[in-house]
Structure 1
Amino acid sequence: MTMKTLRVALLTSTLLAGAAQAADVTLTIESWRNDDLTIWQDKIIPAFEAANPGIKVVFAPSAPAEYNAVLNSKLDAGSAGDLITCRPFDASLELFTKGKLADLTDLPGMANFSSVAKSGWSTDDGKQTFCVPMASVIHGFIYNKDAFKALGIEVPTTEAEFFAALDKIKADGTYIPMAMGTNDQWEAATMGYNNIGPNYWKGEEGRLALIAGTQKLTDPQWVAPFAQLAKWKDYLGDGFEAQTYPDSQNLFTLGRAAIYPAGSWEISGFRTQAGFEMGAFPPPVAAAGDTCYISDHTDIGIGLNAASANAEAGKTFLNWVASPEFAKLYANALPGFFPLSNEPVALEDPLAQEFMSWRTKCQSSIRSTYQILSRGTPNLENETWNASAAVIKGTETPEAAAARLQEGLASWYEPQK
């Protein structure tokens, strides 16, 4: 081989290698879910790459508490990944309005989601969507099946049955009726007020009316959940005022409490810690035959960095995230985080399946304070934490708590003035 032929051969092989590398696009995902790293690496990414040769994916999470600040810095510096894991509502909406997230309204996969599913990642008027919904968390009550069996308690479906069950557990004395404390405040609102509340304000009907200003927090349907919370005090055990969120988790998983007001995210942790069989029931309705409503709260989505150099490959990935294949993979890898797509998904974990089955018989809504109503000061979400805890402790009446929240909201939110 002459030197000239060798040079041509080397040049040709270099060009061919360059072409092969050019065909491979690498997408980087920004996320706060660092606890999901192995699930993405071992299950989700291999499934996508097998179906999409030429596109590689790297999952590169940050610490949850630092995610917003780290992500904003990277976006401003132009060093952020192609795909951005989206928290619901205002944080992601702000990124979209600043031009940091691409408009995904016309992404074909978006047809797989309802307006409620997309609400966490849509503009206030619902006309533009900027993240593909990945999962929601559902609220209800997890219970100790052994305790219920020992005490002869049927799963309650109405409020009367719920309180009768609590009375029976309390009278027996073997178990604390319900594991929840008020020390950290947020549980009182999240697993209390916004858990049982949708049955009173009729889910989306009431939530949207509050945003529109046609209902007020002092209306009966918004005061009623506080009235129920005030009755919980007698069933939470001694010292509940100083009881932290981890304390409540431990009381339940150690078998010392019979019922746990819950978010479905507890399922995986409880599975590893509880030595008894668990069941779940949705928030009981006022009377048999009433329509039931559940808090099926949009929790996590994924969008496209508007500055990504790999936008087409990114959209290919996002359309896959919108598919039934992804929904099944994600929901079974993370029991308690439920698909938001319209396509039904069978879950392997029976407790997770029980939570998700409520969607077929109850109306889904999201937490009342999360969209639009916590943008001002005082912040309605944080104020609801405080009010819910105060009502349970008995330091504030349901009516006074509702009046305080309404006054705070009306002080800055024009439709409520």
Structure 2
Amino acid sequence: MKYTAILLAATALGGFAANVQAADATVTIESWRQDDIQVWQQKIIPAFEAKHPGIKVVFAPTAQTEYNASLNAKLDAGSAGDIITCRPFDASLELFKKKQLADLTELKGMENFTPVAKAAWSTDDGKQTFCVPMASVIHGFIYNKDAFDKLGISIPKTEDEFFAALDKIKADGTYMPMAMGTKEMWEAATMGYQNIGPNYWKGEDGRAALISGKQKLTDADWVKPYEELAKWKPYLGDGFEAQTYSDSQNLFTLGRAAIYPAGSWEIALFNSQAQFKMGAFPPPVPKAGDQGYISDHPDIGVGLNIKSAHAAEAKTFLEWVASPEFAEIYANALPGFFSLNSNPVKMSDPLAQEFVSWRGPYKSTVRSTYQILSRGTPNLENETWVESANVINGTDTPAVAGEKLQKGLDSWYKPGAAK
């Protein structure tokens, strides 16, 4: 009888343990942000798990250059994680169309985002949303305050003032005027063309006109930014054609360059490496009195793998990501990645606060190539990388760059026929 009682007790305890274990669901996050892993492990995940016992979260990033191919392969094989970190616009829309991302239109917390904030992860008609918006990045210029103070340079507000500042820096000879290379090409487009371009094509108005076919890449509004970009060449330093992205970062953080054409995503790294005071300014307007525009680009969201084995737990996590609590943790843990949540977030980093302060006086837009216009071959985004680098290198004129880009777009894109 004693043996039977012990056996029954052991069985009961084993069953209890099994039930406890069964209650703990592990939710895995697929992401390309390897540099964020400590933030997720030390701040974001502990904050979630503290309020949601029984749900464990694992952050499992892949190298950025391998993420798209790796994720697509995993989704096709049915082996992808529960939470999918979403690229903006077309890449994630394609996953939704393939029924690999779930419809999150009615997810609790989605009311915290405006239609504009959700646009990068919604269908073209805006009726369905498939990822929770997390953050955007803002383009502009980061500068060495010590260098500016030493040379008596004020923050340039117009193009003329911008080139006058560059001339002054170059004439002094202490600093490279601007740190940017063209070897990897994407910087020339992302921190060059897409940075200054919205001031010419008037942000969302121009982007919508290009999509509708009312404007072409050969029009003045789209060629003039290239004319401006071509003027950067004398200020980029010797050998900029062979200069990588990390080379440019190092040149700036080591204090050798006065200005860095930037995205706000650089803030955390620069704060940790630069030994001098930094500031930031928005892209200078063509002439005094012009309305200014900034690229305030939705960068990252999270969606639900439609084949997730832990869909309920994953949705709980996504609802939390849509909350003001997550917005505040994320924006302050990763300065330069700005919350898309409608609830205001107070940020402690002064450089991040400088970038986000432009949202008031400047009109926000997104990168012109990301929605609809890069769904075919040749891909307009990738072609813009090539032509932006060519223009700065001097191997293509601005007019030729516009002609090449428009010819490639015309070969597959018919305005009004986007699906």
Same fold (TM over 0.5): yes
Who is 2:144 aligned against?
144
Query: 1:67 aligned to 2:49?
Result: no
For residues 30 and 246 of structure 1, the distance between their equivalents in structure 2, rounded to whole angstroms, comes to: 25
Who is 1:317 aligned against?
317
Q: Cα distance, 1:101 vs. partner?
A: 0.9
Q: How many residue pairs end up in the alignment? A: 417
Deviations along 1:47-96, whole A, 9 cap, x unmatched?
01112222221222233333233323332333322111112223322221
Structure 1 gap segments, 5+ residues each: none
Q: Cα distance, 1:226 vs. partner?
A: 0.9
Who is 1:406 aligned against?
406
Aligned with 1:374: secondary structure? coil
Who is 2:304 aligned against?
304
Q: 1:142 to 1:202 in 2, by over 3 A?
A: same
Who is 2:126 aligned against?
126
Who is 2:165 aligned against?
165
Q: Cα distance, 1:389 vs. partner?
A: 1.8
Q: 1:244 to 1:4 in 2, by over 3 A?
A: closer
Query: 1:23 aligned to 2:39?
Result: no
Who is 2:347 aligned against?
347
Q: 1:8 to 1:250 in 2, by over 3 A?
A: closer
Deviations along 1:171-206, whole A, 9 cap, x unmatched?
222222111222222211111100001111111111
Q: Map 1:3-402; keep pairs closer than 5 Å.
A: 3-402=3-402
CA contact (8 A) 1:197 1:222 kept: yes
CA contact (8 A) 1:374 1:381 kept: yes
Q: 1:247 to 1:340 in 2, by over 3 A?
A: same
Bigger CA drift: 235-244 or 225-234?
Answer: 235-244
| Paired letter, 2:103 | D
Q: 1:406 to 1:288 in 2, by over 3 A?
A: same
Structure 2 gap segments, 5+ residues each: none
Q: Cα distance, 1:407 vs. partner?
A: 1.5
Aligned with 2:339: secondary structure? coil
Deviations along 1:93-125, whole A, 9 cap, x unmatched?
222111111000111222222333222222222
Q: Percent of pairs identical after alignment? A: 72
For residues 227 and 72 of structure 2, the distance between their equivalents in structure 1, rounded to whole angstroms, comes to: 41
Aligned with 1:259: secondary structure? strand
For residues 104 and 205 of structure 1, the distance between their equivalents in structure 2, rounded to whole angstroms, comes to: 29
| Paired letter, 1:407 | K
Q: Cα distance, 1:276 vs. partner?
A: 0.9
Q: CA RMSD in A?
A: 1.9
Q: Cα distance, 1:3 vs. partner?
A: 4.0
For residues 275 and 2 of structure 2, the distance between their equivalents in structure 1, rounded to whole angstroms, comes to: 76
For residues 382 and 305 of structure 2, the distance between their equivalents in structure 1, rounded to whole angstroms, comes to: 30
CA contact (8 A) 1:410 1:416 kept: no
Q: Cα distance, 1:416 vs. partner?
A: 8.6
| Paired letter, 2:340 | L
Moved beyond 6 Å, runs of 4+: none
For residues 84 and 239 of structure 1, the distance between their equivalents in structure 2, rounded to whole angstroms, comes to: 40
| Paired letter, 2:338 | F
For residues 72 and 406 of structure 1, the distance between their equivalents in structure 2, rounded to whole angstroms, comes to: 29
TM-score, normalized by length of structure 1?
0.94
For residues 294 and 70 of structure 2, the distance between their equivalents in structure 1, rounded to whole angstroms, comes to: 34
Q: 1:410 to 1:47 in 2, by over 3 A?
A: same
